[in-house]
Amino acid sequence: MNARKINNSKIVPETSISQLLNEGWHEADLHVHTYYSPDVLPSTFLDPLVLYEKARQKGMKYISFTDHDTMEAYDRVGWKKEGLVPGVEIKVKDMENVGHSIHVNIYELNKSQFQELMEIAKVKRDIFAFISYLKGKNLPFVYNHPYWYDHGEKPNFKVVHKLLQLFPVTEYNMHRVWQKNALAMKLAHRYSKGIIAATDTHVGDIGRASTFAKGETFREFFDNIAKGEVYLNAQDLTVRILREEINTWIDLIFNLDIERLEKVVHTQIRTLNYFINWFLRGAFEDYPILRKAAERFFSSIAKSGAPALCYMELQNFLVYKMNRQLRTVEIN
């Protein structure tokens, strides 16, 4: 197998994926958002029914819709479809023990367990009680993008390496810059934790990053990941990927095909929220020429790559600040 090792985790090139599949390895994207997430556009392109079929056509053995704090996608697509793993991404904001918000993906849970976890996350706000519940119920769970924090928060990066020891698996996230993903892999290696590669896609870009392991049931698949028996089709956030995603957002905004007043989109960018929800409410519907001009204007800006480049420069600055805080933490 032509794969390179990074801290014992094997990164497989796209040219070797077919060989892995022929050898009995299975592919999964375990971090995918549908239009039930508050920061995803209400487009039929992002309907869980459509995304499920897309995943199967791409050859995914397992797919999980991990919407933010909701499992409504499964009421629509079904809870027992072949290869579909019930999942959710829950935000836990434990200011006492952590100091900033973290995201946790949980799999194979039912509605009752979801409600109990939401109670712990939103009322108790206790990460130790949250993880104790997960372990008590024997639920698979992942520490998502460990160096993420919510907009407006002051992150406590020093606590990340302590938190990761509580999780069986962490994540190599396509929407994080390479420095953060590299640190996540270092921690996984140091504490003998499993790691997955996932897209965390909000625009239906399923399988661009993915995880390969063996297992004829999802539990076998996840247990092998936790043991480190895994290959990663890993991607880092780049200007090219981000530019493509921004272009997709622009296309979707101007071609929404679901009743607009049913949803308000919430991203971490206030100005973007205003712009998106303005169009969700039907901006320029009575003025098609102005609407077309606005579409061309925003499309030209997106295609120029300027917004993507500015965002990446901001991320590089934030990584610099993160590294300054981490200098007193040994993670090598």
Q: Where are the domains of the chain?
A: 4-238, 240-326
Instruction: Supply the Cα-derived Rg of the chain in whole angstroms.
Output: 20
Buried b (16+ CB within 10 A) or exposed e, 109-142: beeebbeebeebbeeebbbebbbebbeeeebbbb
- Mutual angle of helices 288-304 and 239-253, in 10-degree steps: 170
**Cβ proximity of 160 and 188 under 8 Å:** no
Q: What distance lies between CA 41 and its chain's CA centroid?
A: 15
% the chain with pLDDT above 70: 93
The pLDDT of residue 219 is 98
Q: Please say whether the dihedral angle defined by the alpha carbons of residues 43, 49, 52 and 57, taken in this order, is positive or negative.
A: negative
Which ranges of the chain have pLDDT less than 50? 6-8, 260-261
- Give the Cα separation of 146 and 148 in Å (integer): 6
The pLDDT of residue 291 is 83
Tokens 């295609």, residue located: 303
Of 141, 188, 172, 144, residue with least CA distance to 331: 188
Q: For 4-238, CATH number? A: 3.20.20.140
The pLDDT of residue 3 is 52
The pLDDT of residue 7 is 46
The pLDDT of residue 298 is 86
Q: Write out pLDDT tens, residues 6-55.
A: 444 588 877 788 899 999 999 999 999 999 999 999 999 999 999 999 99
| pTM of the shown model | 0.93
